[in-house]
């Protein structure tokens, strides 16, 4: 199963992001959506699970949950916007992956068999950080994360 992972759009959904997410079975937005139109546009591509980030105050974005857990081919995926606010032990909770955003810096790391995956920011450029999103290939036996650059 191919899962699109996006974060920190801050009200901007680039054509490159829409194209990269085409064909995904599900999309995860890890917060700082920025406006309701982003949610609608992503839902037009695939089923969407989204969480609230620190800039999501009003409208539908403000009503999003702060965290979410979904199951993908037998893998539990936990979503939180700020990794440092994680208040559980993912390995002990049976979580296979923690999806997060906030820093605008893409990250793929593993600890105790748990994937920590930040797709980076797909929204407006911040400093010299890259514009990226993620693709997570999810099978019953493996999670394979990839960072997808959207702009040079």
Res. 20: pLDDT tops 90: yes
CA distances from 13 to 22, 54, 125, 134 (A): 13, 18, 12, 14
Q: Where are the domains of the chain?
A: 2-149
pLDDT, mean over the chain: 97
Question: What is residue 48's predicted lDDT score, i.e. its pLDDT?
Answer: 98
For residues 121 and 112, what is the distance between their CA atoms, to the nearest angstrom? 26
If we measure between CA atoms, which residue out of 50, 44, 61 comes closest to residue 119? Answer: 50
Task: Measure the CA dihedral 142/53/10/128, to 10°.
Answer: -70
CATH topology of domain 2-149: Purple Acid Phosphatase; chain A, domain 2 (3.60.21)
Q: What's this model's pTM, rounded to 2 decimal places? A: 0.97
Q: Where are the alpha helices (DSSP H) in 14-80?
A: 15-21, 36-43, 59-62
- Digit-coded pLDDT (tens) for 28-83: 999 999 999 999 999 999 999 999 999 999 899 999 999 999 999 999 999 999 99
Question: What is residue 9's predicted lDDT score, i.e. its pLDDT?
Answer: 98
- Digit-coded pLDDT (tens) for 80-101: 999 999 999 999 999 999 999 9
């Amino acid at each position: 199963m191919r899962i699109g992972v996006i974060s920190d759009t801050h009200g901007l959904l680039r054509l490159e992001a829409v194209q990269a997410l085409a064909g995904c079975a599900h999309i995860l937005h890890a917060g700082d959506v920025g406006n309701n139109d982003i949610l609608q546009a992503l839902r037009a591509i695939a089923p969407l699970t989204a969480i609230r980030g620190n800039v999501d105050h009003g409208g539908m974005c403000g009503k999003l949950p702060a965290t979410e857990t979904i199951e993908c081919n037998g893998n539990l995926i936990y979503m939180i916007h700020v990794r440092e606010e994680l208040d559980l032990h993912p390995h002990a909770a049976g979580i296979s992956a923690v999806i997060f955003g906030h820093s605008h810096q893409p990250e793929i790391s593993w600890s105790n068999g748990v994937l920590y995956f930040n797709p980076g920011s797909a929204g407006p450029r911040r400093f010299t950080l890259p514009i990226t999103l993620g693709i997570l290939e999810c099978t019953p036996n493996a999670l394979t994360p990839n960072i997808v650059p959207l702009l040079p």
